[in-house]
Copies of this chain bind each other. A is one copy, B any other.
Amino acid sequence: MRECIVYKPIGVIRSGHTKPEETPIQPVYSEGYQGRAEVFPEFAAGLRDLEGFSHIYLVYHMHRADRPRLAVKPFLQDVERGIVATRAPCRPNPIGLSVVRLVCREGNVLHLDAVDVLDGTPLLDIKPYTARFDRIEGTRNGWQDEVDEETARLRGRRGK
């Protein structure tokens, strides 16, 4: 139950983001930042039919995350929170999750918009985002509901 789990990247994420501190914190604050998921050729056949989806989940290894901490101040608020109540990268397992827009597929390359991922990030999985499974109505959003939209946008885009 406490055994190590080993994954191998299925590709790499390419973007214009090279500095963590200048990278938007979520796709919703990354409008206009294009990028690519370059899937290794041996997995290309697994991408078939993905182009029917307008949005996809990228699941990735945040290779440049700071060492794990159990309490952090999230990007959107200056109040310390438990790490798993935030989306901060310095998690026990630095697994990243982003819902990005799939512009088109060219063979084993996915062209993406609204990319909030650092260039060179190892890609672990891709999943289709579907309204049926993933769009949840009427949620309570914890401390996030304390943050107004304007503040969230300014902080989320890193001031840009």
Where the two chains meet, the residues of A that have a C-beta atom closer than 8 Å to any C-beta of B are 1-10, 12, 26-28, 40, 43, 45-55, 57, 59, 61, 70-71, 81-87, 91-93, 95, 97, 99, 120, 122, 124-145, 152
Q: Select from chain B the residue with minimum beta-carbon distance to A85.
A: B49
User: Are B2's CB and A127's CB within 8 A?
Assistant: no
Question: What residues of B have a CB within 8 angstroms of the CB of A135 in the complex?
Answer: 135-137, 139
User: Are B124's CB and A130's CB within 8 A?
Assistant: no
Question: What residues of B have a CB within 8 angstroms of the CB of A142 in the complex?
Answer: 49-53, 128, 130
User: Are A132's CB and B49's CB within 8 A?
Assistant: no
Interface of A is mostly: mixed
User: What is the minimal beta-carbon distance from A85 to any residue of chain B, in angstroms?
Assistant: 4
User: What is the minimal beta-carbon distance from A31 to any residue of chain B, in angstroms?
Assistant: 13
User: Are B49's CB and A81's CB within 8 A?
Assistant: yes
Q: List 26 A-B contacts (CB under 8 A).
A: A2-B9, A4-B8, A5-B124, A7-B93, A8-B92, A10-B92, A28-B132, A43-B70, A46-B84, A47-B82, A47-B84, A47-B85, A48-B82, A51-B142, A52-B141, A52-B145, A53-B140, A55-B139, A59-B59, A97-B127, A99-B134, A129-B139, A130-B139, A131-B136, A132-B141, A135-B137
Known: A26-B133, A139-B135. A120 touches B1 (CB 8 A): yes
Counting from the closest, the 10 A-B pairs by CB-CB distance are A52-B142, A48-B82, A49-B85, A54-B140, A46-B70, A84-B126, A46-B83, A7-B93, A53-B142, A45-B70
